[in-house]
Structure 1
Amino acid sequence: MTNRNIAVAVAVSVLCFLSVPDAGFGQPVQKEPAAAAPEPSLVSFSAGALIVVTPPEYGGSWSALSIIDERPESGWATPEGVVSPQIIVIGLPEKTVLKTLTFDLGRTDGTGRGAKDILVEMSDTSATADFQKIGQVALKDKVNNQTFPVQAEIAGRWVRLTIQKNHGSTQYVELMDFRASGKQLTRTPVANVSGTYDTDYNQFHVLQEGTSLTGCYEYNEGVLTGGIEGRVLKFTWIERDKRGPAIMVISADGKRLVGMWWHEKATGAPGVWNGEKAGDEVGTCPHWAGGAAQQLTRDLEESGRARIYGINFDTDSAVIREESKPTLERIVTVLKGKTDWQMTIEGHTDATGAAAHNQTLSEKRAQSVRDFLVAAGIAATRLKPVGLGATKPVGPNDTELGRAQNRRVELVRQ
């Protein structure tokens, strides 16, 4: 894969704010040291959020998407000379109540360009109507991690930022990152994303079976295998001589994909991979094996290893979610067809939390997968569960997108 678009730098660590001491609203909160387990940002791309009302953009990597990428080094800027008030609306994946708001301005491209006064509102109706104020903040120029408690805890699905003015520049308005913590009040069933999409890398054909994703794209004999959780797709793309992870978010109407991809073990800025749905027919490619079971068989035959993203667990739990059962049943199908295969089941976590805890959690998750397969008729003697904790990352652990890639199960032929 090569970058056809200017890469957008995506995703860094989300700060966890442990308490909200007494402070005047609109004044930065004094924070305790960050906890080992960062609280996720519910308005970020990694959580399934998307920009649904886009302001004027300078272009290139200075895009509105960079505001929700959790990376203070990248950001949004207006075109030159546009310093009037700007509106950005973020669509959330679930009905949400926000409790804290965090802004980054440390890496703006010049003094005075950073956003200063921002009105923050929430709507549960649409991206254009019935917004209610949850905060009004005054930011310091060239400072990161400016955190404020919300003024009102209002539930909704759309967050509107009205950037009223900057710090005095007559050239640009810039905002590097926006994050927010709180609580999701709903849990929407996994979307069905099967179909054909016109993307930056030609047509993208994806088949969803439960939480399993397989497919192909008409560029460099590309295939993909992975899983879906909510509106977030996590998969491995594989081409003739290279591979790597990718994450996409499907829009609420199911018609648009917004995604990022990396080369295997790369830690730099990702490439952009966006698409519009062309139809519900999955279609095919000459180089694609077909459904999840067929692709899993092919991966294990050719490389002896398969990365499984469709097995989902709750946070800090080894209990397999019900939505993951179809993915596990595909593994059962493959192993019943390959009775001579002996498999190692690897559990992997991200680096959040203590190493000993992650090791134990990964062991328990691998054991849970083994228990399911044994209950489905696969001989226990063919299956070896192994926990590797956070010792074998495939993405950076200082970003939520990277951590999402690292939380996985892998199957390895012995």
Structure 2
Amino acid sequence: MTRFRKFSAALLGTVALLAGTGAAGAPSGAQPDLFSFSEGARLVQYPDDVMLSQMDSSPLNLIDGFVATDWTGRASPSPVFVLELPEQTELSRISFDTSPLNRDEKAVRSVTIEVSDTSSTSGFEMVAEVTLKRLKNNQSFSFDPEFLPVGRWVRLTVVDNHSGDDYSALTGFHGYGRQLTAVAKMPNVTGTYEGHSGWGKINLTQQGDQVTGCYAFLNGRVTGVIKGRTMILTMTETGLDGSPIKHRAYFGMSANGRQLIGIGRDTDPALGEGYFDFYAADRTSNRASGC
């Protein structure tokens, strides 16, 4: 049986607080953030008061790897998020970002963390109760090396915020450790997808782990690679002046292979590093058509 220890990360000396700042939740050069969307983590439960596509406050902003975007939602009832990781994972530490916010009053104060190796709805064991500082990034909490949590599902519950505000907000939730399996894979993505947000209709062709495709908006073209259950694409559009506009996007597929979900970001540093668009589409054919 996997061993867990219930503890208060704000009180016990076995938890190390390593606070810092930066554009992402993990310091530069650190190990991969296994909770990030780009690493294959998926939100399978989240509060229904904010849509995933509402990028100014989307729950996806917790795992987009960018500190300047935040999830904002009603503080009551207590917001609950469940992450499904692509692999069984042993966690060594977790980290949180609480800045910047457009209103400081909604900064999250207390959270609990549970881990399950059973399913997204059962088998959860409490592994941490954390009190966060206001407007501070890279608030990192290490687990006792003798009791490292192991599982595929992580449940984050927001208990309260610092001021009793009607809304709570958090800019980043990160996890670090090691993956114990290597079985995650994406269904073959070849097909036509009708988008109901983002780039509209898109056509994809997969050969091995390589992906090519096109979409009608600004004569868009895509190339990329599949890593585990994540598709990493370079999306190139033709601007009005004829110059190329490039984006990078990370896509995941629903378990039944029928829906494609992704987030895109600009690759030009002058345009910023934040995610600029959300994409969701239903597969309408298993064959790619022309654009």
> Could you say whether these structures have the same fold, taking a TM-score greater than 0.5 normalized by the shorter chain as the test?
yes
Residue number among 210, 213, 230 corresponding to 1:212 in the alignment: 210
Per-residue CA deviations over 1:102-160 (Å, capped at 9, x if unaligned) read 11113233334221221101122222221111211111222222111236423221111
* Counterpart position of 1:131: 124
* Counterpart position of 2:7: none
Residue number among 82, 103, 109 corresponding to 1:110 in the alignment: 103
Q: Which has the larger radius of gyration?
A: 1
Amino acid at match of 1:259: G
Residue number among 177, 185, 192 corresponding to 2:180 in the alignment: 185
- How many residue pairs were aligned? 262
Give the structure, 1 or 2, with the largest relative contact order (CA under 8 Å, sep 6 or more). 2
Task: Please say if 1:49 is aligned against 2:41.
Answer: yes
Return the offset for 1:172.
Answer: 1.2
Mapped partners of 1:26, 1:251: distance in 2? 39
Return the offset for 1:30.
Answer: 4.3
Return the offset for 1:46.
Answer: 1.9
* Counterpart position of 1:375: none
Return the offset for 1:221.
Answer: 2.6
Distance 1:276 1:30, change over 3 A: closer
Task: Please say if 1:285 is aligned against 2:273.
Answer: no
* Counterpart position of 2:70: 75
Distance 1:179 1:251, change over 3 A: same
Distance 1:270 1:162, change over 3 A: closer
* Counterpart position of 1:11: none
Mapped partners of 1:95, 1:198: distance in 2? 33
Structure having the larger proportion of residues in helix: 1
| Structure 1 residue runs without a partner (length 5+) | 1-22, 287-414
How does 1:190-269 map onto structure 2 within 5 Å? 190-191=185-186, 192-199=188-195, 200-240=198-238, 241=242, 242-251=244-253, 253=255, 254-266=257-269, 267-268=271-272, 269=274
Structure having the larger proportion of residues in strand: 2
How does 1:8-407 map onto structure 2 within 5 Å? 24=12, 29-30=17-18, 37-55=29-47, 56-57=49-50, 59-79=54-74, 82-150=75-143, 152-188=147-183, 190-191=185-186, 192-199=188-195, 200-240=198-238, 241=242, 242-251=244-253, 253=255, 254-266=257-269, 267-268=271-272, 269-286=274-291
SS in 2 for 1:202: coil
Mapped partners of 2:209, 2:280: distance in 1? 20
Amino acid at match of 1:276: A
Mapped partners of 1:224, 1:157: distance in 2? 31
Distance 1:263 1:99, change over 3 A: closer
Mapped partners of 1:31, 1:164: distance in 2? 21
Per-residue CA deviations over 1:222-265 (Å, capped at 9, x if unaligned) read 22122111122222223343331322231351333332334552
Amino acid at match of 2:280: G
Instruction: Indicate if the aligned counterparts of 1:234 and 1:248 stay in contact, CA closer than 8 A.
Output: yes
Amino acid at match of 2:68: E
Return the offset for 1:97.
Answer: 1.3
Mapped partners of 2:43, 2:283: distance in 1? 21
Instruction: Indicate if the aligned counterparts of 1:127 and 1:158 stay in contact, CA closer than 8 A.
Output: yes
Mapped partners of 1:262, 1:32: distance in 2? 24
Return the offset for 1:187.
Answer: 1.1
SS in 1 for 2:65: coil
Return the offset for 1:184.
Answer: 0.7
Distance 1:183 1:172, change over 3 A: same
Per-residue CA deviations over 1:30-83 (Å, capped at 9, x if unaligned) read 47999762211100112111221121339541111111122222111114xx44
Moved more, 97-106 or 250-259: 250-259
Mapped partners of 1:89, 1:125: distance in 2? 13
SS in 2 for 1:228: strand
SS in 1 for 2:137: coil
Mapped partners of 2:20, 2:61: distance in 1? 27
Identity across the alignment (%): 29
Mapped partners of 2:16, 2:139: distance in 1? 6
